[in-house]
Structure 1
Amino acid sequence: MQNPDPRSRRPGWAGRNYRIQTAATVISGLGNAGAPIATAFAVLATGGSTTEIGYVTAARLVPLVLLLLVGGALADRLPRHHVMVAANTFNALSQAALAALVLTGTARLWELVLLSAAGGAGQAFYGPAAGAMLMQTVAREHAARAFSVYRMALNGAQIGGAALGGALTAATGPGWVLALDALGFLVAAALRVLLDVPPAAGRGTGGAATPGGVRGAGRGDGMIHELREGWHEFASRRWLWVIVLQFSVLMACVSAVDAVYGPIVAEQRLGGARDWGLALAADGAGLVLAGLLMVRWRPRRILLVGNHGVFLFALPAAALAVAAPLPVLALAMFLSGAGVTVFGVNWMVALQQEIPAATMSRVSAYDAFGSLALAPLGTALAGPAATALGLGGALWLCAALTVLLSIVVLAEPQVRRLGRRAAGPVGGPGNTPATVG
């Protein structure tokens, strides 16, 4: 008797492109999880302080924010998988250069700033293309399950990457962690070359009319016109821009906590890079276990449930503010990670359900642009804020803003009422969003 074909055990919705995209994201995610730890401790190794860590982190975020809209427009105009391959290759080169400087002990602050900025520029072109490509790989009726599995895979890589990055940084120094990140980007680029995407699908609808009446990015349209179309899709949905405004402040706080305050507290009060890596791994565990929940849970009011997960984002800042021991900090990070997945899966379902495919990259770019707009300011001001308020005061401010904004967002009826609907045509800008009375 022959053994069953192993391919038959795969769920029907997990097609070849979905599997390649997920595998490539996991491989690059392993390095990406450890790279922020390595970068922060590389700055400390050069004699840098909280303020210098903030500058290096902000240097990555500034070009990411400034170039996101261009990246979104290009991803709706060019084959999205080609954009991703080019961006991954560029990131591999910039991280390899950074690793070489750190390994040779010749890294200076301005070089760390410049190469960190190069990494952000690559991400600005990769992100909008990757988000839209993933949504193209699964049908809407399987979206929640597929996005949950994808996030579990990515977050599992984050657990391993953060723990490995922290341990390697403590054992061998940050340079080798950055070198592994460069290798991960290179392998991810090679995998994405294998994506099998028809030319029209690679550009959304390639200029064909969408069910919402908006034409896709065609070769005859100028970039300004395409960005204006994307803005119309974005601004016409109040639930969308209200949450993006919430995240513009929230991500400034989260960036300051994760990239600046966390490593400083770990260095001063815990066991340094190893303990901070374990805390980040606990965050990843929360991301993964919540993904298991979201595979089966299909809440009707997707943004109402998702925003409740955002309340949990405040816990790491509060734990760091009271100088909690590592087990308590790990629990706070675990719960925050669970909240990220609960929000993230429901957010992806809402975008896929409500946004026409032809403009998805541009809308995703406006989403990311707005969400990250204040993040460079948050990291750059992290050091001065800690000086003015004390480290504990700055952390409590981040926690309080996160909770307050999560309450305010729930005052918007479209956020409370936007509901999951059965598979069908994507709503256009003039259509009423699906709601549950």
Structure 2
Amino acid sequence: MSYSSLAGAKNRLLAGRCVSALATAMIPTTLTLAVLRATGSGEALGVVLACEMVPLLLLLPVGGVLADRVRPERVALLADLTRCLAQGVMAVELLLGVDRVLDLAVLSAVAGAAIAFGSPAVPRLVVAVVPGADRLRVNARIGVATSVSAVLGPALAGTLTLAAGPGWAAGLTAMLFACSALTLGGVRTAGARVTVGVRAGFWRELGEGVGEVRGRPWFLVCVLGHGVWHFMAGLFLTLGPVAAVQRLGGEAGWMIIVQSGTVGLVIGVLAAPRLPIRRPLVAVQVGAACYLLPMVALPAAVGFGLPVVVVAAAYFVAMVGLGVLSPLWETVVAEEIPEGALGRVRSFDQLISFAARPFGLAVAAPLAGAVGMAALMVTGGVLVAVANLAAVVRSPRTAPPRAAGDLDRVTVRRHD
């Protein structure tokens, strides 16, 4: 591809991922308010949300195989079109006054399946479109868009739902997915290699993907450490609001904590390409281990009467670490894993992450009731630190990904 073609494809990729991130962030709030307006039942809401999560988890390995078989822009395009269709049907039904829980559950399942197929294709799309020297900066920009969307999306969906109804919020989400699909539809990856052909069977290709993971102990240990972090984040995001409302200044206290984390996340993502990091995977694991801080600060603030700013500061630092983690991890894995296996390997990574967070959300209250909030949070924080720092000893001494201005390609030593 010529330089101008690469630049155009990169711009389309960035625009498409930004719009898709905003649409994705709007869905949970829209869906939650739609179900609660229709039924007022927390059980019904749990069923609808589970209908998205179950096919997502079951189909992620299939999506990983498909991502390595088919050109990634086609998979991403189809995934966004499918979510556009699901949100469009939901919008029409809600605007017509049809708010059956069964319909919402089915549409959620369709969206979950689309995510399962689309998510593993994105890392391959970045590799195919963005030169190695510029990959860290592009991953950082996508990370910023995702972080901002995580705040803007729910606010936009909630405001539109309160003002005009959930049908209009779903309609806007469908339009955003349509824009993302049209943008990604213009991406061309003629230079992308698909090294796994359709001649191999599904189970063989899946087994080869597992072999790629097992052959890299550093990757497996890192992913498991990230899974522990996602699980503990589920605990914190469940117990934190309750503790803040009851003991740390009410709803305003929790909002201070959350917004501090959002600012920290954006700062971390922006800083990642600019930091003089010699061993990126060490920085990744230390960033994840920083989640120890809010896990310890929250029970300390509740137990000793410390101001909410202590928890906010701890959460800020933790989210800076996670902001640094995100683009570095995306970039290093793309360099270390062969392109023809990247979809399958990343689907394993995403499967652990997608499963661990909801599990933490689900068991937080029962665990806190059994052992106490303080003991649970401190123990969880220590486990986060230990699980992620343990991966440091297995991390390969990869060269730091270079900034966009460097002409040399990133040199990474393989550890097969």
Which band: TM-score by shorter chain? Answer: 0.7 to 0.9
- Unmatched 5+ residue regions in structure 1? 1-10, 207-215, 431-437
Match of 2:141 among 149, 157, 182: 149
| Residues in 1 aligned to 2:92 and 2:373: alpha-carbon distance in whole angstroms | 34
Aligned counterpart, 2:121: 129
Q: Give the corresponding residue for 1:419.
A: 398
Secondary structure of the structure 1 residue equivalent to 2:199? coil
Tell me whether 1:119 sits opposite 2:108 in the alignment: no
Which position in structure 2 is the counterpart of 1:47?
A: 40
Give 1:347 shift: 0.9
Match of residue 339 from structure 2: 357
Query: CA offset at residue 117 of structure 1?
Result: 2.3
Matched AA of 1:254: A
Contact 2:61 2:347 (8 Å CA) reproduced: yes
2:324 is aligned to: 342
Q: Partners of 1:337 and 1:154 in 2: how far apart?
A: 14
Contact 1:233–1:429 (Cα < 8 Å) also in 2: no
Q: 96-105 or 325-334: which moved more?
A: 325-334
In the TM superposition, residue 62 of structure 1 has moved relative to its aligned partner by 1.9
CA shift in 2, pair 1:344/1:279, >3 Å: same
Q: In 2, Cα distance between the equivalents of 1:240 and 1:98?
A: 39
- Number of aligned positions between the proteins: 401
**Aligned position for 1:311:** 289
Show the counterpart of 2:385: 406
2:169 equivalent to 1:177? yes
> Is contact 2:296–2:381 with CA below 8 Å preserved after alignment?
no
| Partners of 1:166 and 1:277 within 8 A in 2 | no
Alignment partners' CA distance in 1, 2:259 and 2:228: 25
Does the alignment pair 1:245 with 2:217?
A: no
Cα distance change on mapping 1:251 and 1:287 into 2, 3 Å: same
User: Counterpart of 1:294 in structure 2: which amino acid?
Assistant: A
SS of 2:272 mapped into structure 1: helix
C-alpha distance in 1 between matches for 2:133 and 2:369: 49
* Secondary structure at 1:234 match in 2: helix
Q: Given that residues 33 and 158 in structure 1 are in contact (C-alpha distance below 8 angstroms), is that contact kept between their aligned partners in structure 2?
A: yes
**Judging changes above 3 Å, is the alpha-carbon distance between structure 1 residues 143 and 231 closer, same or farther for their aligned structure 2 residues?**
same
Corresponding residue for 2:351? 369
CA RMSD of aligned residues (A): 3.8
Q: Is the 8 A contact 1:282 1:334 kept in 2?
A: yes
Indicate whether 1:195 and 2:168 are aligned: no
Q: Name 1:218's counterpart in structure 2.
A: 197
CA 320–98 in structure 1, closer or farther in 2 if over 3 Å, else same: farther
Alignment of 1:290 with 2:268, yes or no, is yes
Q: Distance in 2 between matches of 1:395 and 1:33?
A: 31
Structure 2 vs 1, CA of residues 82 and 265 (structure 1 numbering), >3 Å: closer, same or farther? Answer: farther
Deviations 1:361-408 (A, max 9, x none): 1111121123334445444x34xx525634995697367425413323
1:59 is aligned to 51
* C-alpha separation in 1, matches of 2:97 and 2:8: 43
1:275 and 1:30 map into 2 onto residues whose CA distance is: 26
Does the alignment pair 1:34 with 2:26?
yes
2:292–2:382: 8 Å Cα contact kept in structure 1?
yes
> Shift in Å at residue 143 of structure 1?
2.7
Aligned to 2:405: none
Identity %: 31
Range 78-87 or range 165-174, more displaced:
165-174
Note if contact 2:282-2:392 (Cα within 8 Å) is conserved in structure 1. Answer: no
Q: How high is the TM-score relative to the length of structure 1? A: 0.77
SS at match of 1:386: helix
Report the Cα offset of residue 303 of structure 1. 1.8
Pairing partner for 1:230 from 209, 220, 225: 209
Instruction: Measure how far apart 1:293 and its partner are.
Output: 1.1
What SS class does the counterpart of residue 390 from structure 2 fall into? coil
> Which residue identity does 2:331 align to in structure 1?
V
The alpha carbon displacement at 1:344 in A equals 1.0
Are 1:386 and 1:393, in contact at CA under 8 Å, matched by a contact in 2? no
Separation in structure 2 between the aligned mates of residue 110 and residue 241 of structure 1, nearest angstrom: 38
> Where does structure 2 lack aligned partners over 5 or more consecutive residues?
402-408
Q: Any conservation in 2 of the 1:59–1:113 contact (CA below 8 Å)? A: yes
